[in-house]
Structure 1
Amino acid sequence: MMRVLTGVTTCDTFAFQLTSIRGIGNRVFVEGEAPPAKRAGPSSSSSSSSSSSASSASSQRVFWVHIWTLKDKRITQLREYFNTAILVTDLKPTTPTPHEVQHHPCVPLWQNRLWKSKEGRELPGLILAI
């Protein structure tokens, strides 16, 4: 998406399925998945192991998270993550309870739901502290 928005590449169509959207403060968290990439060219009856693995790799779904930062009703920053489990935390909550201070120094604000792909593979994780 960022490459399209910045003009690096053009795209006639962009297919995706929105899973969730949530606003926290001046940030918007958008999560979704893209359908598997379509295989180019005619299908062949004979296949080698390399073309078979390329075919299975292209048939996997892509999970993505966009984090938009807003200022004066405009997007000023776009962070884009693919196939990554995201946990957003607040390093300095405004009114931490004694339990939070003692047991949870970082208060979780949001976590994407697609942390494990439907194919059963776990995704690499990332913690964003805001």
Structure 2
Amino acid sequence: MRTLTGVSPPFQFSPLSVVSFGSTVITEGCDAASSVSWIHAWTVSHGVITQVREYSNTSLTVTRIGSVVAGRSAEIRASHCPSVWESKFSGRAGKSVPGLVLAI
């Protein structure tokens, strides 16, 4: 935990927001002092979490890529890559953080 967050346990993971996009669930929160922010991206299949991605002190933008027409993937263009979610708590620590894009 110290390596990931810079703090020793106990570190409380209390989500401040939870959103879902199909099989992807995003949870976001920060510690009580707002010095460490975190984001979990879970992939859920048949009610079971099958993959977990964890981001600490990182800004995350979720983007949906392409579109599906009649069961087939359409050509991907910039207009087909809208931002559907952006993290809100990464800047609370008052410092610059790296930014990532999660394509779903």
TM-score of the superposed pair, with normalisation by structure 1: 0.59
Deviation at 1:115, TM superposition (A): 3.4
- The answer to whether 1:26 aligns with 2:23 is yes
Across the two proteins, how many residue pairs are aligned to each other?
Answer: 91
Code of the aligned partner of 2:29: G
Structure 2: gaps (5+ residues): 2-8, 70-75
Identity over aligned residues, as a percent?
Answer: 35
Q: Distance in 2 between matches of 1:92 and 1:114?
A: 28
- The answer to whether 1:68 aligns with 2:68 is no
Structure 1: gaps (5+ residues): 2-11, 37-59, 96-100
User: For the Cα contact (< 8 Å) 1:64–1:83, is it kept in 2?
Assistant: yes
The residue number in structure 2 matching 1:108 is 83
Alignment deviations for residues 89-125 of structure 1 (CA, whole Å, 9 cap, x no partner): 1111347xxxxx87634111211112312x4212110
Q: 1:114 to 1:13 in 2, by over 3 A?
A: closer
Q: 1:61 to 1:115 in 2, by over 3 A?
A: closer
User: For the Cα contact (< 8 Å) 2:62–2:103, is it kept in 1?
Assistant: yes
Q: Distance in 2 between matches of 1:72 and 1:25?
A: 12
User: For the Cα contact (< 8 Å) 1:70–1:77, is it kept in 2?
Assistant: yes
Q: Distance in 2 between matches of 1:116 and 1:85?
A: 8
Q: Distance in 2 between matches of 1:83 and 1:18?
A: 15
User: For the Cα contact (< 8 Å) 1:88–1:129, is it kept in 2?
Assistant: yes
Which structure: greater helix fraction? 1
Which structure: greater strand fraction? 2
Q: Of the two, which has the highest radius of gyration?
A: 1
Ranked by relative contact order (alpha carbons within 8 Å, sequence separation 6 or more), the top structure is: 2
RMSD over equivalenced CA pairs, Å: 2.5
Q: Give every structure 1 segment of 4 or more consecutive aligned residues whose post-TM-superposition deviation is greater than 3 Å.
A: 101-105
Deviation at 1:18, TM superposition (A): 2.0
- The answer to whether 1:128 aligns with 2:102 is yes
